[in-house]
C-alpha cells in the first residue's frame, strides 16, 4: 500500500473528488481526517468508511476554509488524532458565476475568492508550518482547474481564484523545499460530481465532448492521481501542475471535417 503510515487532511472531503480521495487514501493505508464545512456529512462519511473495516483510520472535523483559524485547528486536530501530518489535499471549493458586468462583488467575487483562493492559501500556510515543525517534510496538493489556465464563460472570478492556486503551488514549492516539502496542483476538467450532475443531459453531453474521450471524468479517476502524487513514488513531481482533464486543455473544439 503506497500510503501506508501516512496521515492526510483532505478538505471538502465529504463529497465529490474529496470523498473519492478519502476512500482511495484509506484503502492505500493512510489515516485521513475528513475536513468539510458540513460536519454531519463528514462524520457520516467517516462512520461509513470505518464500518468497512477501517476503524481508527478515519475521523472528521468541521471546517470553513475561508477562516484561517479553522484551517489551523483542522491541522492541529489531525496531529492530535493521528500524531502527525504528512499530506494536505486542499480540495474544498465552490463553483458558479455570471457575466462580469452583472457582478455584485459581495456575491460574485468575495465568497469565491475567500473559499477557492484564500482557503488554499490557508491550507498551504497551516500545513507548511506543521511540516516545518515536524522536521519530516510533507506533501501539499491543491485543486486548481482547467479554468485556472484559460478564459471561459461565466468564470471571471473562478478562473482568477484557480489561477492563484497554481501560483501558490509554484511559490510554496520554492519556499518550502528546504523543509522537504513538495507542492503540486491538479487541474480537473469535467468531472461527474454533484456540481455538474445537476445540469441537463444535453449540457452534460456538451461538457463530455470537451474532453478527448467524449466522457466525463469520474471522481475516482482524480483520486487515483492524487494518491500517486501523495506517495513517495512521485517524489520528483514538485512545483508543477498535473493536468487531470482527459485532454480538455489540449484542443478547442471537435469539427465535422469537410470532404476534400
Annotated catalytic residue: which of 121, 122, 158, 248? Answer: 158
DSSP 8-state code for residue 191: B
Contacts by 69-76 with C-beta closer than 8 Å and gap 24+?
71/11, 71/119, 71/122, 71/123, 71/126, 72/122, 72/126, 74/9, 74/11, 74/33, 74/35, 74/126, 75/9, 75/126, 75/127, 75/130
H or E element, residue 190: none
Per the structure block, which three cell numbers stand in for 70?
479553522
Inter-residue contact 85 to 78 (CB < 8 Å): yes
**Is 121 a residue of the active site?**
no
Residue positions annotated with a catalytic role: 158
Amino acid at each position: 500500500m503506497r500510503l501506508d503510515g501516512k496521515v492526510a487532511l483532505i478538505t471538502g472531503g465529504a463529497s465529490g473528488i474529496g470523498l473519492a480521495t478519502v476512500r482511495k487514501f484509506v484503502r492505500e493505508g493512510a489515516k485521513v481526517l475528513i475536513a468539510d464545512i458540513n460536519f454531519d456529512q463528514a462524520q457520516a462519511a467517516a462512520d461509513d468508511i470505518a464500518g468497512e473495516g477501517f476503524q481508527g483510520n478515519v475521523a472528521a472535523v468541521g471546517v470553513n476554509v475561508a477562516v484561517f483559524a479553522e484551517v489551523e485547528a483542522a491541522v492541529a486536530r489531525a496531529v492530535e488524532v493521528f500524531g502527525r501530518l504528512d499530506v494536505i489535499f486542499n480540495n474544498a471549493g465552490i463553483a458558479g458565476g455570471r457575466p462580469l458586468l452583472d457582478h455584485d462583488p459581495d456575491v460574485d467575487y468575495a465568497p469565491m475568492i475567500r473559499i477557492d483562493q484564500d482557503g488554499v492559501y490557508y491550507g498551504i500556510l497551516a500545513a507548511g508550518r506543521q511540516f516545518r515543525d515536524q522536521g519530516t517534510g510533507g506533501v501539499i496538493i491543491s485543486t486548481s482547474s482547467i479554468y485556472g489556465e484559460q478564459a471561459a464563460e461565466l468564470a471571471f472570478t473562478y478562473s482568477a481564484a484557480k489561477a492563484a492556486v497554481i501560483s501558490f503551488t509554484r511559490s510554496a514549492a520554492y519556499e518550502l523545499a528546504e523543509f522537504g516539502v513538495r507542492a503540486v496542483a491538479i487541474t480537473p476538467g469535467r468531472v461527474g460530481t454533484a456540481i455538474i450532475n445537476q445540469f441537463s443531459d444535453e449540457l452534460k453531453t456538451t461538457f463530455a465532448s470537451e474532453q478527448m474521450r467524449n466522457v466525463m471524468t469520474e471522481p475516482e479517476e482524480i483520486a487515483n492521481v492524487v494518491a500517486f502524487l501523495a506517495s513517495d513514488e512521485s517524489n520528483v513531481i514538485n512545483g508543477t501542475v498535473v493536468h487531470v482533464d482527459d485532454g480538455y486543455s489540449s484542443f478547442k473544439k471537435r469539427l465535422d471535417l469537410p470532404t476534400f
